[in-house]
Chains A and B, each alone.
Chain A
Amino acid sequence: MQETLEKILQTYHESEGNVISLLQEIEESFGYLPEDAINWFSEQLDIPPSRFYGIATFYAQFHLKPRGENIITACCGTACHVKGAEKLINSLMRELQIPSGEDTSEDRKFTVEKVNCVGACSIAPVVIINKEVHGKMTADRLMKEIRKIK
């Protein structure tokens, strides 16, 4: 971990970064923002941790808890909404047995997240499975895709 942190710090100085770009680097490296990492940068840069958390909780991109191995992103844009995104999400939560109020399965294999719009509205509803965009999704096809990686 230490090595990664040093490297991020170096890029931060070289590219005249700011808190947001720093958090983006941490998120990219670890998949979430580990508390230890925040505290370490706080010391190094003399920025209070509260500032990091203030920003981290403001933007949707940052996560304070580790996420699942597989990330399933359901688009909830308007077009996807009218074409049944909610149904897809419900069936995902059931299939992966993710308790309501949570987004990650207990074995941390899957995280289901909603996103406002991925801008692929003409192929709505859209589900992104591990960065691969799937359009015109149906509950049936979605379950098949999920079972492939389960």
Chain B
Amino acid sequence: MAMQEGSIVVKVCMGTGGIAAGGAAVVSAFREEFESAGVRASVEKNCSVHNVGCRGFCARDVLVDVIVGGEKTTYEYIKSDMVPRIVEEHILQGRPIEEWVVKEDYHTFHEKQVKVVLSDCGEVDPEDIESYVGRGGYSALEKVLATMTPEETIGLIKDSGLRGRGGAGFPAGLKWEFARKAAGEPKYLICNADEGDPGAFMDRSIIEGNPHSVIEGMVIGAYAIGARKGYVYIRAEYPLAVERLQIALDQARRRRVLGDDIGGRGFDFDIRIKLGAGAFVCGEETALIASIEGNRGMPRAKPPFPAQKGLWGKPTVINNVETLANVPYIVRNGAGWFAQFGTEKSKGTKVFALTGKVKNSGLIEVPLGISLREIIYDIGGGIEGGRRLKAVQTGGPSGGCITNEMIDIAVDYESLAKAGSIVGSGGMVVMDETDCMVNIAKYFLEFTQAESCGKCVPCRIGTKRLLEILQRITDGRGRPGDVELLEKLSNDVRSASLCGLGQTAPNPVLSTLRYFRNEYEAHIHEKRCPAGVCKNLLTYSILEEFCKGCTMCARVCPAGAIVGEKKKPHKIIEEICVKCGACFEICKFKAVKKG
């Protein structure tokens, strides 16, 4: 966007994080302030307030950019009642408010990142196609339709080395080529936005922040494989993303970059939204297809692969949101430009959702091959509360963990696989010494067990038994031999399950067993949870010498399990205690002991 001299633009982060922090109130506060007094009327013409999508650093929301004559200032933690002062001092008097401006760590958060897919997120207004077009949007589509054959388009994507960003990392260009060559009409292109991994929000943020990049990528993909019809299969849990996508589709049709005779070049392609009904297994290609067809989302054996026989038995390509959103940028800048990022086998950048016990949590985009240390410490700012890093869980319920000792590992498809984890869709949950790894494994198994579709026996029953064993270990009823049993059963489930869900479900168990076997053993043999997480292995007690009798603990105890007179040491009645930890958290004198 060309910035006029003296023009004023205010950009307010309106992703889910921004809205939850009160983004909408901030936007209307700016609009009101601009409208109200007379002085302001003179600037009003040049003033605009934009809603922008996610800019990644959701933990600091609401983030606000104030751009005066091309000079950008970014504020963090902005609430609507702070807006009048920003307008008064910064916009009218030209004095930015230093104490609200983002600190050094905001810049280090962004410094090591390389933004391709996210380059326009937080810059464009996701509800205005012109804002995307103004930054070069849909020029890639124009270039493809005007100057390239479908085969050349496929060749370009192959040369770039782009691999599927949904988890498996299959080369995207190759997938397109299979579908292009497959017999059968019509062909379909499906965008998989059923982002089911808990702890991941890359796809949501891309669609909320820049839906047109996904649409443009889809139209280019459809041209390459020869599809006339496309679907976006998106989770109903993402209402804002669905709404913005719908707006974007309508605008794209009006601008004739979607629909019949796209760009006047005789190519037809239209996209429909299909709302997922909440089933993790539908992230699997064949299950997703079954779901679009209106059935229970159960996978089937492959081959035939969807590229040969997919939706309604026709050749179908299913690409992940992030994969498709990369496409316009690759076309615009060339395959070589994209391939300069990353490693030999893992090209380009990857978006990760960095969350958990890390200081700067948020959405990040980094070149593949970056070290985990750089991600956690340089971008993430280290561990919250100065505690020690224990492990980083990557790849969600299908993935595994990387330990503190392996912190210098390169984050790419091959290196993570070697360490027993996966890149997956890009969830990265940081855990510190207060997290119990057995509990984490149980958490993921609870998830996969509940989400198992039940079609094949190893997954349906195997995950259930795995969960039962983990349950008894964390309950303090673990038996000798349980660790070996877990290992054996995990390997069986892994090798005998029908689809990716079952094949990867034991990964969190195997990986925590590999690196944290001693924690399992402490639970089983010593009936002790070293991290102090597993409720049944914990007791709370009050240390008399520290207790001042302030009664705070007795007041917060939901079970009425704490007795004692004012100013005299209190006592926890173990039989009544529900082990909620409320007393532990509230005590100012560290008199409550956990263990």
| Cβ proximity bits A133-144 to B, threshold 8 Å, 1 near / 0 not | 111000100000
Closest to B272 in A: A15
B486 at the interface (CB under 8 A from A): no
CB neighbours (8 Å) of B58 from chain A are 120, 122-123
A118 B199 Cβ-Cβ under 8 A:
no
Q: Is the CB of A87 within 8 A of B581?
A: yes
Number of chain A residues whose Cβ lies closer than 8 Å to a Cβ of chain B: 41
* Nearest B-chain residue to A15, judged by Cβ: B272
> A residues bordering B, Cβ < 8 Å?
17-21, 23-24, 54-55, 58-62, 76-79, 81-83, 87, 90-91, 94, 115-124, 126, 131, 133-135, 139
Residues of B within 8 A of A (CB): 16-17, 19-21, 57-59, 61, 195-201, 203-205, 236-239, 275, 277-280, 291, 293-297, 353-357, 361-363, 393, 396, 427, 429, 431, 435, 440, 443-444, 447, 451, 453, 558, 578, 580-582
CA distance in complex: A58, B279 (Å):
8
* Distance of A60 Cα from B201 Cα, bound (Å): 19
Count of A-B residue pairs with CB < 8 Å: 138
Chain A residues within 8 Å of B205, by CB: 119
- CB of B355 within 8 A of CB of A59, answer no
Quick check: B393 and A135 within 8 Å, CB to CB?
no
Residue in chain B with minimal CB distance to A54: B296
Contact A122 B443 (CB under 8 A): no
A78-B443 in contact given A59-B279, A91-B558, A122-B58 (Cβ < 8 Å): yes
Quick check: B16 and A120 within 8 Å, CB to CB? yes
Q: Determine whether the beta carbon of A121 is less than 8 Å from that of B16.
A: no
With A55-B296, A58-B296, A83-B356 already in contact, 17 other A-B pairs whose C-beta atoms are closer than 8 Å: A17-B294, A20-B294, A21-B294, A58-B279, A59-B279, A61-B278, A78-B199, A78-B356, A78-B396, A79-B355, A81-B198, A117-B198, A119-B201, A119-B203, A122-B59, A122-B353, A133-B16
Closest 8 CB pairs of A and B: A18-B294, A78-B199, A60-B278, A119-B201, A59-B277, A77-B198, A79-B355, A117-B198
Q: Which of A76, A121, A122, A139 has the most CB of B within 10 A?
A: A122
Contact B297 A79 (CB under 8 A): no
Which residue on chain A has the smallest CB distance to residue B581?
Answer: A87
- CB-defined contacts of A18 to chain B, threshold 8 Å: 293-294
Check B363 against A116 for contact (C-beta < 8 Å): no
Residues of chain B contacted by A78 (CB below 8 angstroms): 198-199, 355-356, 393, 396, 427, 429, 443-444
